[in-house]
Structure 1
Amino acid sequence: MKALVTGGAGFIGSHLAEALAAKGITVHVIDNLSTGNSQYVPDGAIWHQVDIISKEAEQLILRERPDIVFHQAAQVDVQRSVADPGYDASINIAGTANILQACAKASVKKVVYASSCAVYGDLNVSLIDENHPAQPISFYGISKWAPELYLQVFHQLYGLKYTILRYANVYGPRQTPKGEGGVVAIFFDRIKRGLPLNIFGDGEQTRDFVYVKDVVSANLAAIERGDRQIIHVGTSVPTSINELVFMLRKIHHEKFSVVYTHERAGDIKHSCLNHAKAVSLLNWKPLYDLFQGLYETYQLSKDESV
């Protein structure tokens, strides 16, 4: 099997490329290094420094004709999407359309698309399932939802198979300390530098934090399962930011301060994904609870090469 991972030098993509290569799968990586790191591309993977919005990306897919494409590349900073929605759309929407068009031309067997819980906006429900309506409240949420519609139409027009994985808040080693989804990385970075943790609002906003290794296993499960489905990848366990800080204090041991400030535009108050569909269709469930994942991330973050 031959796989291509867009964003394969980035946070989730590099872990996925590593897991695919470990299975003996031929792995090609597309990454323009706007946020990725070439050191994260695993040994054995073939790295192409190419932008997903470029003609070169299309030509690469047509030349290599991968069996499966894992589309991880994206602009993921919510606040940047608010400040520059055009840039956000150019990558997440136009870039995805470019990749999908190439996949259709190259007769790629399947695309696994990394979507986001941000498509739901602030639904104010305790546990979100896949039947809840998409009501994004940020341009980032819109830009992650639109490619889902593109995938459905590409299937209707060209028979392109797909699985859409809507991620909860992913965390783990290699995550950069930027973007709302990277709150764990932001906090670890500030702890390391002896800076206070900034919490926007009262800290009672909740998130579903899912470890990157569990996200990778869901992607691997989607190779053979979940065709034409939208599936949540999360823990189904809500955690407040205040609870997250409590766990970090237990892990770090040394004191650090916390500063509460105003809420930010585009931020969601509560988000937790029901993963029952993933259990039934992908035969997947998360293996890491939050404390385990945080502890492993903390230990590995001491080594900048992870």
Structure 2
Amino acid sequence: MKVLITGGYGFIGSFVGERFYKEGYKVFILDNLSSGNQKNVTFPHKAYELDVADKKCDEVFKSNKFDVVIHLAAQVSVAASMEDPLLDSNTNILGLVNMLKLSSKYGVSKFIFASSAAVYGMNENTPLLEDSACDPVSVYGINKHIGEMYCRKWTEMYGLRTVAFRLANVYGPRQSSVGEGGVISTFLTQINNGKEIVLHGDGSQTRDFIYVEDVADAIFRSVTADDTGVMNLSTNQESSINELIDVLGANQPLQGILRREKRPGDVDKSVLDNTRAKRRLDWIPMYSLAEGLEKTAQWYQETIAEKEQEQESEAKKTILWFRSWDARPYIENILAFVLVIFATVGTVNSGVFDLKLIYIVLIGAIYGTKQSLLSVILACGLFIGESLHNGRDVVSLLYDANVLFHIAVYFIIGIAVGYSIDKRNRDVLSKELQRQAIEEKYDFLKDIYNDVLLVKQELQQQIVNSEDSFGKIYNITKELDSLEPERVLQKSVKVLERIMKSDEIAIYTMNQNGSFLRLMAKSNKAGFDLPRSLKMSEHAYLTELMTMKKIIVNKELRHDMPLIAAPIFDKGKMVAVVTLQQLGFENFTMYTQNLFQVAVQLISSALSRSLRYLNSTQKDRYLEDTSILIPAYFSAMVKNKRDAKQQLNTDFTLLAVDSAQMDHHTLSAYIASSLREADYMGMDEAGDVYIILSNSNEEEANIVIDRLGRLGIASRIVQEKDQDRFSLKDGVYA
């Protein structure tokens, strides 16, 4: 995935880029460096030094095919917008329109625009909602509001999915001391420079300060969310400038406050409601003002310390260079040359041994090319000096082939020896570096192995001990594997209650023709009443579950559907629906949704296995050619129903049937036509036939009794105290 961040070298842009890079995106930055700083970005990226209104941006979009565009490039100073409205409009309007045009032209899937709380103007009906009236009082605010309208219209006209974030006062490391949200950085710069704080106005004006990493987190989440439109990005906490100064003064000494008149265009009161962003993005601000200020102040102090260190290092560079300079080779070279002079002065050159050449070879062999060239120059000087001493003149030397030959030989030998020695030294050094690198890699991998081993052991303990880990989920759901389908569904309610920490779980099963669902099991919570059946045609979300085959989340919090619902499929057919009706707001997160989905998938696997088991034992369960359960399976079914009633408050009614008038085959055929798919027929060891009416009370049971009576079949309700006889003990009826 490719993301383009305009203004990516700026304060907010650098943090946004870091977040996307850590999430695996390939990051591109478009910045004219008018206010951005390349040092803000240390992660791998590709950059274009262009203005957002530049026509060359077309080539950037065309060649890269971005998936997401984060438009942060802007003129951010309210005061500057009032002084030069044309400059503000060129950047904040024309640049935005160019980015929108190119995004729609080259298939960008999501466009994020950084708007501002300045669009609300002097509206003091705080906290301000996205639907609150916008009446900006500065050119900056006006242009941001116009930018929002451009984004909305681009969505309507071209289908470009856009989100406009109305940012509160963003602060944090890397922020310059200018701009709408720069009051904190301005104050910290003044404090750390030992100057007075310059306060415009009386300090009673309020702001909603939000830490930059919280902003970056929200922007990233908005890319994967389906929502578009305008959202406030804030903490929903109001702080006055005077309160801000008090917090800063509590952590470091102040030199005083220099009060000045209020600047034109400044808003008196500003705090934004962030409910929409929280719900739509599954996001909350993580940093309080105190925590954010602590991190910001620490960064400013570290930055000042780094600048001081840079100044000190510049002063020490010359001294360090002299200290690092190794004079020994030069000294030894000169000493060797002096020895050659003493050895050659007053002697006659035999023509066999040339001490100067030997000197060049030795120096080159010991020290390499640099000293070899120096020795060549010295040897040539000595050779020319000897010639002049012997009565030759300079002009004649220039035309003497023998002299030129000697000088050429000195240079060739010196360079050849020096180069060969340097090459050998480089090869040796390279091998040594390779050896060291291998050793370091080995040590590094060994450390990683030990760390991974330690982390693995810790994770194993966490998986065993964590309440909501997948290991714990697996252990919880594993108890369902050996149970029958109805037992699986009943146990699943308890399993989900433990995993989801909710006492409003329900499971509905689908009938054969797929027209309605019947409540099979639900949480045993007082007052938790649900419909006993649901018609598919009356609930759109059920149809969506069947067609989409995935979890549905009730983000609109509609009252006619559960909070979360997930289908259970077997052999491509939806056989059940699991619903979570209510959940605490603090737990309504993406993590919880994923947890629910994983748990339902494990339950679905358990149910599928039990259904396969049921199909494979179908002939063994029923009296031949009937729908009547044989005594062993009927007793187990009664036990399941009684357990479900005790644990989950799931009703059932047991009817005794007068079977003396008909044989079992005829009786089964008559009764089956009057029962639902969720009901059962069975017999005891004496051959008496009974009916289990699932999720039915005595009033509903009487309707079935009347229906059977019209067929000539007498039946009666078996009271709970008389049901103990159906319990099996060691395979024998009690």
| TM-score greater than 0.5 by the shorter chain | yes
CA distance in structure 1 between the partners assigned to 2:173 and 2:31 by the alignment: 18
Q: What's the secondary structure of 2:302's corresponding residue? A: coil
Which sections of structure 1, spanning at least 5 residues, go unmatched? Answer: none
Contact 1:41–1:47 (Cα < 8 Å) also in 2: no
Amino acid at match of 2:290: F
TM-score by length of 1: 0.97
Q: What's the secondary structure of 2:134's corresponding residue? A: coil
Amino acid at match of 1:60: V
Moved more, 115-124 or 226-235: 226-235
1:176 is matched with which residue? 176
Q: What's the secondary structure of 1:129's corresponding residue? A: coil
Instruction: Kindly state the Cα deviation for residue 41 of structure 1 after the two structures are TM-superposed.
Output: 2.4
Contact 2:196–2:254 (Cα < 8 Å) also in 1: no
Which sections of structure 2, spanning at least 5 residues, go unmatched? Answer: 308-734
Amino acid at match of 1:7: G
CA distance in structure 2 between the partners assigned to 1:152 and 1:226 by the alignment: 15
Instruction: Kindly state the Cα deviation for residue 45 of structure 1 after the two structures are TM-superposed.
Output: 1.2
Aligned residue runs from structure 1 range 105-254, under 5 A: 105-225=105-225, 227-252=227-252, 254=253
Amino acid at match of 1:303: E
CA distance in structure 2 between the partners assigned to 1:249 and 1:157 by the alignment: 51
Amino acid at match of 1:201: G
Amino acid at match of 2:254: K
1:93 is matched with which residue? 93
Contact 2:227–2:280 (Cα < 8 Å) also in 1: no
Instruction: Kindly state the Cα deviation for residue 198 of structure 1 after the two structures are TM-superposed.
Output: 1.2
2:281 is matched with which residue? 282
Contact 1:226–1:282 (Cα < 8 Å) also in 2: no
Quick check: which one's helix share is greater? 2
CA distance in structure 2 between the partners assigned to 1:255 and 1:293 by the alignment: 19
Q: Give the root-mean-square deviation of aligned CA atoms.
A: 1.3
2:267 is matched with which residue? 268
Q: C-alpha offsets along residues 38-64 of structure 1, whole Å, 9 cap, x if unaligned?
A: 111232111111110101122211221
CA distance in structure 1 between the partners assigned to 2:226 and 2:249 by the alignment: 39
Instruction: Kindly state the Cα deviation for residue 180 of structure 1 after the two structures are TM-superposed.
Output: 3.4
Amino acid at match of 2:14: S
1:298 is matched with which residue? 297
Contact 1:130–1:232 (Cα < 8 Å) also in 2: yes
Counting matched residue pairs gives 305
CA distance in structure 2 between the partners assigned to 1:259 and 1:151 by the alignment: 41
Instruction: Kindly state the Cα deviation for residue 277 of structure 1 after the two structures are TM-superposed.
Output: 0.7
Aligned residue runs from structure 1 range 46-57, under 5 A: 46-57=46-57
TM-score by length of 2: 0.41
CA distance in structure 1 between the partners assigned to 2:39 and 2:47 by the alignment: 11
Q: What's the secondary structure of 1:181's corresponding residue? A: coil
Instruction: Kindly state the Cα deviation for residue 226 of structure 1 after the two structures are TM-superposed.
Output: 5.3
1:257 is matched with which residue? 256
Contact 1:175–1:185 (Cα < 8 Å) also in 2: yes
Higher relative contact order structure (alpha carbons within 8 Å, sequence separation ≥ 6): 1
Instruction: Kindly state the Cα deviation for residue 172 of structure 1 after the two structures are TM-superposed.
Output: 0.3
Contact 2:3–2:70 (Cα < 8 Å) also in 1: yes
Q: What's the secondary structure of 1:297's corresponding residue? A: helix
Instruction: Kindly state the Cα deviation for residue 24 of structure 1 after the two structures are TM-superposed.
Output: 1.5
Contact 1:163–1:226 (Cα < 8 Å) also in 2: no
Q: C-alpha offsets along residues 194-240 of structure 1, whole Å, 9 cap, x if unaligned?
A: 11111111100000000000000010110112522211110000000
Q: What's the secondary structure of 1:97's corresponding residue? A: helix
CA distance in structure 2 between the partners assigned to 1:178 and 1:110 by the alignment: 29
Q: C-alpha offsets along residues 77-133 of structure 1, whole Å, 9 cap, x if unaligned?
A: 000000000000000000000011000110100101111000110102221010102
Contact 1:5–1:72 (Cα < 8 Å) also in 2: yes
Amino acid at match of 2:133: P
Q: C-alpha offsets along residues 63-82 of structure 1, whole Å, 9 cap, x if unaligned?
A: 21110000111000000000
CA distance in structure 1 between the partners assigned to 2:158 and 2:126 by the alignment: 38
Q: What's the secondary structure of 1:55's corresponding residue? A: coil
Moved more, 69-78 or 193-202: 193-202
Q: C-alpha offsets along residues 254-273 of structure 1, whole Å, 9 cap, x if unaligned?
A: 23201222111101000000
CA distance in structure 2 between the partners assigned to 1:207 and 1:83 by the alignment: 23
Contact 2:203–2:240 (Cα < 8 Å) also in 1: yes
